[in-house]
Amino acid sequence: MAGLCKATIIGNLGGDPELRYTAAGRPFATFNVACNRTYTTSDGERKEETEWFRVTAWARLAELCNQFLSKGRKVYIEGRLSSRSWEAPDGQKRFSLEIAAAEMVLLDSRPRGDNLEGHVGAVDDGSDLDAIPF
């Protein structure tokens, strides 16, 4: 039986996405999303906590994230959890748990000049409109 490793978050971008390319030329974007939680303690005190999530998007989704996301925007991210480890320059072993995005939905109002419909997953960029026979 196959397993399931899925993550869904809604939050605000902590900064603009950073678009880079692999050695093979494949685009990927990384960005952080802050998810806030408000709760009341047993003493009646309201508290707020913020969890930060590192998100990586690949290929066309990476390019779209870079184009349409910016610091502070509210976003829905769906993807799979992905872990990696590496050795830092100081010799320490480092570990990261991040979300490999498969889908992104903008949840806030669009800034002026932004013509994205809001839902970004498999997006048709309209490049083959000339191929339509009518």
User: Hey, where are the domains in the chain?
Assistant: 7-122
- Tallying the residues shown for the chain, one arrives at 134
pLDDT the model gives residue 2: 85
| Segment 30-68, tens digit of pLDDT | 999 999 999 999 999 999 999 999 999 999 999 999 999
Cα atoms in the Cβ-side hemisphere of radius 13 Å centred on 119: 2
Instruction: Return d(Cα 105, Cα 57) in angstroms, integer.
Output: 13
Are the CB atoms for 29 and 62 separated by under 8 Å? yes
pLDDT at residue 62, rounded to an integer: 97
Number of alpha helices (DSSP H) and beta strands (DSSP E) in the chain: 1, 7
Provide the mean pLDDT of the chain.
Answer: 86
**Chain centroid, CA 129 distance in Å:** 29
Q: Which of the four pLDDT bands, split at 50, 70 and 90, describes residue 127? A: very low
pLDDT > 90? residue 75 = yes
What is the homologous superfamily of the domain 7-122 according to CATH?
Answer: Nucleic acid-binding proteins (2.40.50.140)
Predicted TM-score (pTM) of this structure: 0.75
